[in-house]
């Protein structure tokens, strides 16, 4: 084998290997992102349910409005 065919083989191997690594990493990141989104949705639903229960029981955490000074004079 001459030097040109060896270099072409190395280059082709690098390109194919890089493509395989890209696909594997891309697939892993998509799965991780989907898992994070699902966990965030579960937490948001739990917070929303907790908030609805607190409002229904009269324990709302929102601050009360103070009357304005214009009404007191």
60's CB contacts (< 8 A; 6+ apart) are: 54
Report CA 52 to chain centroid distance, whole Å.
Answer: 25
The pLDDT of residue 71: 59
Taking the complete model, does pTM exceed 0.85, yes or no?
no
- Give the integer Cα–Cα distance in Å for 45 and 33: 18
Residue by residue, pLDDT tens for the chain (73 residues) are: 799 999 999 999 999 999 999 999 999 999 999 999 999 999 999 999 888 887 777 766 566 667 676 655 5
> How many C-alpha atoms does 66 have within 13 Å on its Cβ side?
4
Give the pLDDT of residue 4.
93
Cβ pair 60, 54 in contact under 8 A = yes
CA 19 to chain centre: 25
DSSP 68: P
pLDDT of residue 63: 60
């Amino acid at each position: 084998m001459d030097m040109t065919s060896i270099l072409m083989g190395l280059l082709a191997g690098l390109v194919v290997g890089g493509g395989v690594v890209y696909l594997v990493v891309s697939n892993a990141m998509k799965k991780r992102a989907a898992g994070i989104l699902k966990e965030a949705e579960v937490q948001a639903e739990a917070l929303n349910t907790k908030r609805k229960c607190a409002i229904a029981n009269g324990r709302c955490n929102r601050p009360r409005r103070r009357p304005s000074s214009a009404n007191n004079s």
